[in-house]
Structure 1
Amino acid sequence: MSEFNTLVLTLDTGDVTIKLRPDLAPKHVERIATLANRGFYDGVVFHRVIDGFMAQGGDPSGTGSGGSKEPNLPAEFSREPHVRGVASMARTMDPNSANSQFFICLDDATFLDGQYTVWGEVTDGMENVDALPKGEPPRNPGKIVKARAE
């Protein structure tokens, strides 16, 4: 089990607190916390923000095709619904390809249930996620100034 309970993202729009869910996805929580505390996410943009759907970030290249040097993670799918404020892992068509990219649901997206690994839930600062510039990619993307697991 992870010793971390929360992930605090300091965005250029304000702070976001995410309650980590090791009960649902222990390997993914461990990965996110480790990368955050190494400074991996610091300065990384939200390269894909779709109004009414989700905000995706976690790729150091800012293109949506990059990740960390760590190996990809096996899927930890659960019955947890993808509703507003849920944090989940992005992946390719391969269910076992999650690495460092994640998304936060801006609205309910239950059609994703059981296909993406839910690892957290925003408990504070959702308005700062809502305020991220929209686009694929946004013209001036919002970024993670600092990310730390606590």
Structure 2
Amino acid sequence: MRFRLALSLAFGAVLAASPAMAQHAAPKEEVKPFKIDRLVSSNTLQYAIDGNEDHDPENVLVLYLSNGGRVAIRLMPKWAPKHVERIKTLVRQGFYDGIIFHRVIDGFMAQTGDPTGTGEGGSKLPDLAAEFNDVPHGRGTVSMARTDAPDSANSQFFIVFYPRAALDRKYTNFGRVISGMAAADTITRGEPPKNPTRILQASIAADHKPAPVVGLPTQAPASITADMLNHSTAH
């Protein structure tokens, strides 16, 4: 199964499965989006774009990227409780550490969350039932990728660069970037990119995980000699 979002010149961004899957796809099951009350929707959307990471650290996802950037994402359990729970579970398992952004389309979105880097992989956890809602896919939206089956989201998600109304009520919107969107904008483009941007570390802000140390040796020398000690003390 391929978790793939494709561009359609006529209709904007829509889901496309691989040719093999398209031939054998089961009849589509309609999933009605969860309607958020207008007053609640307004409040939660304002809350989602609040840049204060200390406001609700248990629901702030922090991504350190190989491009040197840091992205903070407000997770919204009110919009999609099961999807937020899944993301937090995988983050705390270290699932996303080292995973690439395998499909990045300029003017559209950056997709990640596949340990195989092919767009066809996911976690060992079962797929999730859709939690479509009426929160729009604006710039900075974080939403789950899926196949053409509504209840097929697993671990892959994407960050939206520019508003995509064609995705609304068809993909589970579960959060929004609250800081570091400039770093997200510089994620390397490609399908897949030749030199893909990686998630060096994903964590939940409440866990206070230190930022990853980049550029240090991965292992120590086999032995320390007197010359090494003399050289280090000389400086």
1:11 and 2:65 equivalent? yes
SS at match of 1:48: strand
Letter of the structure 1 residue corresponding to residue 140 of structure 2: G
Using the aligned pairs only, state the percent identity: 58
SS at match of 1:138: coil
Gaps of 5+ in 2: 1-56, 206-235
SS at match of 1:31: helix
1:24 and 2:79 equivalent? yes
The structure 2 residue matched to 1:122, chosen from 169, 177, 184, is 177
Q: Which has the higher contact order (CA 8 A, sep 6+)?
A: 1
SS at match of 1:127: helix
Q: Which runs of 4+ in 1 moved over 3 A?
A: none
Q: Aligned equivalents of 1:83 and 1:27: distance in 2?
A: 21
Q: Flag the structure with larger Rg.
A: 2
The structure with the largest strand share of the pair is: 1
Counterpart position of 1:74: 129
Q: Aligned equivalents of 2:165 and 2:70: distance in 1?
A: 26
Deviation at residue 4 of structure 1 after TM alignment = 2.4
Counterpart position of 1:89: 144
Alignment RMSD (CA, Å): 1.2
Query: What is the TM-score with the length of structure 1 in the denominator?
Result: 0.97
The structure with the largest helix share of the pair is: 2
SS at match of 2:101: coil
Deviation at residue 110 of structure 1 after TM alignment = 1.1
Correspondence list, 1:98-137, <5 A: 98-137=153-192
Q: Aligned equivalents of 1:16 and 1:138: distance in 2?
A: 20
Query: What is the TM-score with the length of structure 2 in the denominator?
Result: 0.62
Counterpart position of 1:51: 106
